[in-house]
């Protein structure tokens, strides 16, 4: 149930924000909006207010804003409130408003989480346990999130990196771990799981792991620091996403590393258990992904529509209905192929645990 409500919350908010951008700018431009839908047809429930039908539809893979005269195969009447009656610049603003709203939403969420929750940082005085891998060596001996690791093989540790190096150097070996849970001390011998990691020069190396992540303490920040920190997070993540996309194009990054709806649902369920701040930060990262992916020049995405408008500006007239239809079909086929591929890899990862 946690996974279900977290997925509905995250995707629902992101889709709503995106379509709200299109809707608000269309209204500002004087374009008649016939429908505002979360999800794709068939329609589930809805209510008509004024000239717009607001609804929730059954297929939860996105949403849409239906504007009068938007589809090129629809007969136009020349009404000044139709989408195609507006100048190319205005139509471009309407199309771009969705990704821009997702970008703005991500910035605001990053700032809000920093200001209200604070900045998570490693404890400089002790090793705090963060997420514990279900079924991993640490989980099997009872180590919990929030516990304090005090020693590994009788060597006292006060810094996560030191503890990690001791365990990484013992792949497949048995280590003794001393930890504190609340006021009680516990000790257990556990066999490390063998894993691989990248060295600084890019080579694979074998390491031992016990299945714990780093825990953090929370430091309060001022509003000014929250704003600067939120902006820094936004642009850092944007840079990472651009590099990731570049890696996909060049072949240096495998498509197996891309998550689809199933993978997003799994991650949403996990991060929801770690608290509202982690869930909102995850939502902000997804919002940036949605903003960036939507401006890619692929027909059926917002970026593809912007390409059509750019060509219309150059030619002095829009592309023909046939040309747009063919491009949209190619874009839809590519999108469906991508969804099927990433969903397959999501399911494989889920089965493999």
pLDDT at 345 over 80: no
3-state secondary structure of 353: coil
In this structure, which topology does domain 121-218 adopt according to CATH?
A: Pdz3 Domain (2.30.42)
Residue ranges of E strands in 138-280: 148-152, 155-156, 174-181, 184-191, 193-198, 204-209, 212-214, 216-219
Contact between 21 and 101 under an 8 Å Cβ cutoff? The reply is: yes
pLDDT at residue 343 is higher than 90:
no
Could you tell me how far CA 80 lies from the centroid of its own chain? 38
Short-list 99, 42, 91, 48, CA closest to 68: 91
User: Average pLDDT, stretch 6-29?
Assistant: 93
Per-residue confidence band for 72, with pLDDT thresholds at 50, 70 and 90 = low
CB atoms within 10 A of CB 99: 24
Report residue 69 CA to chain centroid gap. Answer: 33
Domain spans in the chain, listed from the N-terminal domain onward: 2-118+256-352, 121-218
Give residue-wise pLDDT tens across range 104-149.
999 999 999 999 999 888 888 899 998 898 889 999 999 998 899 9
- Has residue 4 got a pLDDT over 90? no
Residue 143: predicted pLDDT: 94
Interval 253-257 mean pLDDT: 76
The pLDDT tens digits of the residues spanning 158-176 come to 999 999 999 999 999 999 9
Give the burial string for 228-256 (b: 16+ CB within 10 Å, else e).
ebbeebbeebbeebeebeeeeeeeeeeee
Both tokens of 33, joined, read 């909006």
Considering only 4-18, 80-94, 248-262, which range has the smallest mean pLDDT? 248-262
Query: Does residue 71 carry a pLDDT above 80?
Result: no
Reported as a single tens digit per residue, the pLDDT across 187-208 is: 999 999 998 887 766 677 899 9
* CA 114 – CA 203 distance, rounded (Å): 36
Mean per-residue pLDDT over the chain, rounded: 88
Residues known to be catalytic: 19
Please return the burial class of 151, using the count of CB atoms within 10 Å of its CB with bins 0-12, 13-18 and 19+. Answer: middle
Q: Is 142 helix (H, G, I), strand (E, B) or coil?
A: coil
Distance CA 300, CA 66 (A): 14
Rounded mean pLDDT, 270-298: 89
Quick one: tokens of 341? Answer: 């591929």
- Could you list the beta-strand ranges (E) of 160-256: 174-181, 184-191, 193-198, 204-209, 212-214, 216-219
In this prediction, what percent of the chain has a pLDDT beyond 90?
51
Asked if 178 contacts 185 with a C-beta cutoff of 8 angstroms, the reply is yes
- Mean pLDDT confidence for 212-234: 91
């Amino acid at each position: 149930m946690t996974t279900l409500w977290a997925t509905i919350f995250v995707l629902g908010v992101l889709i709503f924000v995106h379509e709200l951008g299109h809707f608000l700018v269309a209204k500002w431009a004087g374009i008649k909006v016939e429908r505002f839908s979360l999800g794709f047809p068939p329609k589930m429930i809805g209510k008509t207010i004024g000239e717009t039908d607001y609804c929730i539809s059954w297929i939860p893979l996105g949403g849409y804003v239906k504007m009068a005269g938007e589809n090129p195969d629809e007969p136009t009447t020349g009404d000044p409130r139709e989408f195609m009656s507006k100048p190319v610049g205005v139509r471009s603003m309407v199309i771009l408003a969705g990704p821009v709203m997702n970008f703005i939403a991500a910035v605001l969420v990053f700032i809000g989480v920093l200001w209200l929750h604070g900045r998570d940082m490693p404890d400089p005085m002790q090793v705090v346990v963060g997420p514990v891998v279900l079924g991993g060596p640490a989980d099997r001996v009872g180590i919990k999130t929030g516990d304090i690791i005090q020693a590994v093989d009788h060597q006292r540790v006060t810094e996560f990196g030191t503890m990690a190096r001791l365990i990484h150097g013992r792949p497949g070996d048995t280590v003794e771990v001393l930890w504190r849970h609340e006021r009680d001390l516990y000790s257990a011998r556990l066999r490390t799981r063998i894993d691989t990691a990248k060295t600084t020069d890019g080579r694979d190396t074998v390491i031992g792991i016990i299945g714990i992540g780093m825990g953090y303490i929370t430091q309060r920040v001022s509003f000014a620091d929250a704003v600067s920190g939120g902006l820094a997070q936004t642009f850092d993540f944007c840079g990472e996403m651009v590099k990731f996309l570049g890696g996909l194009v060049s072949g240096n990054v495998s498509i197996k590393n891309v998550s689809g709806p199933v993978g997003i649902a799994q991650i949403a369920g996990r991060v929801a258990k770690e608290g509202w701040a982690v869930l909102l930060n995850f939502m902000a990262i997804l919002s940036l992904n949605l903003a960036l992916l939507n401006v890619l020049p692929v027909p059926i995405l917002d970026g593809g529509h912007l390409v059509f408008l750019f060509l219309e500006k150059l030619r002095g007239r829009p592309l023909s209905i046939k040309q747009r239809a063919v491009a949209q079909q190619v874009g839809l086929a590519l999108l469906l192929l991508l969804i099927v591929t990433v969903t397959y890899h999501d399911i494989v990862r889920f089965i493999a645990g």
